[in-house]
């Protein structure tokens, strides 16, 4: 390790000409790396981003079709990084669904509106009578399941070699026993 030379008297620790950061830090401006995803503090950034996209004026002036478009093309991609890597716990999932429901049925109005249909029906595909809004719970399980599929189907790759050497590969996911050496991410994959 060496010290970076700069015009300011601030000393930065560098390694291979890169600043050394302490965890947790934010990846792509939103995803905390090195944080503990089982705490609600970890998910505050996602909830804040969803709420900021749902300002009250948008709900007042959008039709139902406009709200559905906003759901599909703006709100659904916001938690994409998070739900593809981490198992979202129930409290955060309930909060995201609550924000979505409130926006769809009553956002921007002063009084509380009654939901016209159940949320389960709203999340169903169009051809069976739903509005085809993504169910965040199922989406989270599907994206985590994709890691299992990749681990099973890909022939090579450094990430696969690391997981196989550390945990024993995709076959060890079938074991119900949890070991102390297992990371939280690997335990979440076992729970799918």
User: What tens digit of pLDDT does each residue of 1-12 get?
Assistant: 333 444 444 445
Give me the pLDDT at residue 112, please: 66
Q: Residue 130 sits in which domain range?
A: 29-140
130 and 109 fall within a common domain:
yes
Residues 21/34, Cβ–Cβ less than 8 Å: no
pLDDT computed for residue 107 by the predictor: 61
Within 10 Å of residue 157's Cβ, how many Cβ atoms?
11
Q: How crowded is residue 98: how many other Cβ atoms within 10 Å of its Cβ?
A: 12
Q: Is residue 18 part of a domain?
A: no
Whether residue 95 is found in the same domain as residue 171:
no
For all residues of the chain together, what is the average pLDDT? 78
User: pLDDT tens digit string along 130-174?
Assistant: 888 888 889 999 999 998 888 888 887 888 888 888 888 777 777
Counting every residue written for the chain, the total comes to 192
Residues 105 and 66 in one domain: yes
Element (H, E) at 191: none
pTM of the complete model beyond 0.85: no
| pLDDT tier, 67 (very low <50, low <70, confident <90, very high otherwise) | confident
């Amino acid at each position: 390790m060496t010290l970076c030379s700069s015009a300011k008297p601030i000393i930065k620790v560098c390694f291979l000409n890169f600043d050394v950061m302490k965890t947790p830090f934010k990846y792509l401006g939103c995803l905390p790396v090195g944080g503990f995803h089982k705490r609600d503090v970890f998910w505050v950034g996602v909830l804040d981003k969803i709420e900021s996209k749902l300002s009250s004026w948008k709900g007042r002036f959008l039709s139902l079709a406009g709200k559905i478009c906003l759901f599909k093309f703006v709100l659904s991609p916001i938690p994409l990084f998070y739900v593809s890597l981490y198992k979202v716990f129930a409290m955060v999932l309930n909060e995201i669904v609550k924000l979505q429901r409130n926006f769809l049925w009553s956002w921007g109005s002063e009084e509380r509106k009654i939901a016209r249909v159940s949320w389960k029906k709203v999340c169903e595909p169009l051809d069976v009578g739903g509005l085809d809004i993504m169910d965040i719970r199922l989406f989270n399980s599907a994206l985590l399941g994709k890691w299992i599929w990749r681990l099973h189907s890909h022939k090579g790759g450094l990430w696969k070699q690391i997981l196989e050497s550390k945990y024993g590969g995709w076959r060890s996911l079938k074991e119900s026993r949890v070991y102390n050496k297992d990371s939280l991410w690997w335990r979440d994959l076992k729970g799918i």
